[in-house]
C-alpha cells in the first residue's frame, strides 16, 4: 500500500518520484509484498534532508516492510527454490524414463515375435542344384522346419554350406513370415586327378571336389596323373598339375572331349587323344596359341582321314604331324 502526501505550495522532484515508483513496482513484481510507502516534505520522514541547496523542499519516499511481509517473502522464495530443484531433477530423469520405457517396449515386442508361431519356418526353397539334390543341400544347411525365422543366422548358414566341396557359393534369404530361400552355385569339374590314393575330381582352380569312380562318370573328364592325391575339400598344390588345368581351360570344348589324359614328359606337357594320338605341348605355357593350333590340326586330320601318331606343338607356328 502506498500513501503519498504533498504539502500545498510544494513541487515534487520528478526524478526522485520516478525512482521511488520504479523501486516500488520492481519490488512488487519480484517479491509480491504488500508495502507501506510514505512520502513527505520538510520535516516529515525526510531522514534529515528537509530542503535542497536552493531552499526548495524535497519530496522523500520511505518504504516500510512489515514483519509479516518479510516472513512471506522468505517462505515464497523457499517455495520457488524447492520448485526449481524439483523441475531440475525431473528434467534430468525424463530422458532416462523415456529410454527405459523404450527398452521395455522393444523387449516386449521381441518377446512377442519370438513366441509367435507365424514366424516359424514352414518352407525352404532350394535353387541352383545340378549334381546335388535339394534334400542334400537342406541337410547340409542345418535348417529344419519349425525353426524360428529370427533365430537363423543367414551368414552362418551360408558359410556352413560353402564348406561342402561341391558348393562354391551359397546365399540364404528370409522371405517373411515363414519361408527361406537357398541358392547355391556348384563347382564345375574339369579334370580327374589320378594319384596313389585314388581318383579325385577337381575344378578349374584345382579345388578337390570328391573321390570319383572313373568308370561311372556320365560325362568323361580328362585325367591328370599325379604323385599325390588331393583330398576333397582341399586345394591341389601341384604346380605342374595346376598348369595343366590352365591348358585344359584353354582348349575348345570340341577338342577337350577328344582328350583322355594329360601328363608331363621330358620336361614338358603332353596329352593323349582318343585313339592314342599323343600331343606334345612343350615346356612353355603359350597355351592359348597352342590350343587354337591343335583345334585346326585335329580338324585337318579328320577332314583328310589321316592316321597320326603324334602332334608336336612345341613351336605352334610350325606344328609337326607324325604318322
Fold category of 119-186 in CATH: Ubiquitin-like (UB roll) (3.10.20)
Contact 200, 212 (CB under 8 A): yes
Fold category of 189-322 in CATH: Rossmann fold (3.40.50)
C-alpha cell at 111: 518377446
List % helix, strand, coil for the chain (3-state, nearest 5): 40, 25, 35
* pLDDT value for 249: 87
Contact 208, 193 (CB under 8 A): yes
DSSP output for 84-126? HHHHHHHHHHHHHHHHHHHHHHHHHHHHHHHH-GGGB--EEEE
CA 303 vs. chain centroid, Å, equals 60
The reply to whether 189-322 shares the fold of 119-186 is no
pTM of the model: 0.58
Query: What is the residue-level pLDDT of the chain in tens, covering all 323 positions?
Result: 333 334 344 444 444 444 444 444 444 444 444 444 444 444 444 444 444 445 455 554 555 556 776 677 677 777 777 777 777 777 776 777 678 777 877 766 666 656 677 889 999 999 999 999 999 999 999 999 899 888 899 999 999 999 999 999 999 999 999 999 999 999 998 899 988 988 999 999 999 999 988 765 555 578 888 888 899 999 988 888 888 898 888 888 888 888 888 888 887 888 888 888 899 988 877 888 888 888 888 888 888 878 888 999 888 888 888 88
59-64 sheet: strands from edge to edge: 2-4, 36-41, 59-64
* pLDDT value for 21: 41
Give the residue extent of every domain in the chain.
2-65, 119-186, 189-322
* pLDDT value for 207: 94
10 Å CB burial of residue 146 (0-12, 13-18, 19+) is exposed
* pLDDT value for 7: 37
Contact 167, 187 (CB under 8 A): yes
* pLDDT value for 14: 43
Contacts of 168 (CB under 8 A, 6+ apart): 162, 184, 185, 186, 187, 203
Write down the residue that cell numbers 514366424 correspond to: 119
SS3 161: helix
User: What sections of the chain are H helices per DSSP?
Assistant: 14-31, 67-115, 134-141, 154-162, 239-250, 253-256, 287-304
* pLDDT value for 31: 45
φ, ψ at 90 (rounded to 5°): -65, -35
Amino acid at each position: 500500500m502506498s500513501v503519498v502526501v504533498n504539502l500545498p505550495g510544494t513541487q515534487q522532484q520528478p526524478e526522485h518520484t520516478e525512482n521511488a515508483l520504479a523501486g516500488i513496482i520492481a519490488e512488487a513484481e519480484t517479491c509480491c509484498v504488500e508495502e507501506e510507502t510514505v512520502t513527505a516534505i520538510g520535516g516529515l520522514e525526510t531522514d534529515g534532508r528537509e530542503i535542497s541547496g536552493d531552499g526548495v523542499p524535497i519530496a522523500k519516499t520511505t518504504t516500510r516492510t512489515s514483519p509479516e511481509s518479510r516472513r512471506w517473502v522468505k517462505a515464497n522464495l523457499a517455495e520457488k527454490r524447492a520448485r526449481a530443484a524439483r523441475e531440475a531433477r525431473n528434467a534430468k530423469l525424463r530422458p532416462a524414463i523415456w529410454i527405459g520405457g523404450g527398452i521395455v517396449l522393444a523387449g516386449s515386442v521381441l518377446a512377442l515375435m519370438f513366441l509367435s508361431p507365424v514366424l516359424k519356418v514352414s518352407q525352404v526353397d532350394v535353387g541352383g542344384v545340378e549334381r546335388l539334390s535339394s534334400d542334400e543341400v537342406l541337410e547340409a544347411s542345418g535348417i529344419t522346419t519349425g525353426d524360428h525365422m529370427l533365430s537363423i543366422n543367414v551368414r552362418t548358414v551360408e558359410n556352413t554350406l560353402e564348406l561342402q566341396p561341391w558348393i562354391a557359393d551359397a546365399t540364404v534369404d528370409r522371405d517373411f513370415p515363414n519361408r527361406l530361400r537357398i541358392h547355391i552355385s556348384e563347382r564345375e569339374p574339369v579334370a580327374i586327378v589320378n594319384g596313389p590314393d585314388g581318383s579325385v575330381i577337381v575344378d578349374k582352380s584345382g579345388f578337390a571336389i570328391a573321390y570319383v569312380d572313373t568308370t561311372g562318370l556320365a560325362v568323361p573328364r580328362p585325367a591328370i596323373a599325379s604323385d599325390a592325391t588331393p583330398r576333397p575339400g582341399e586345394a591341389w598344390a601341384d604346380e605342374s598339375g595346376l598348369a595343366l588345368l590352365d591348358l585344359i581351360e584353354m582348349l575348345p570344348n570340341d577338342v577337350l572331349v577328344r582328350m583322355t589324359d594329360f601328363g608331363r614328359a621330358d620336361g614338358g606337357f603332353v596329352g593323349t587323344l582318343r585313339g592314342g594320338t599323343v600331343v606334345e605341348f612343350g615346356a612353355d605355357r603359350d597355351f592359348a596359341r597352342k590350343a587354337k593350333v591343335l583345334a585346326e590340326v585335329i580338324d585337318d586330320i579328320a577332314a583328310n582321314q589321316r592316321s597320326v601318331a603324334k602332334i608336336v606343338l612345341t613351336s605352334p607356328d610350325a606344328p609337326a604331324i607324325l604318322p
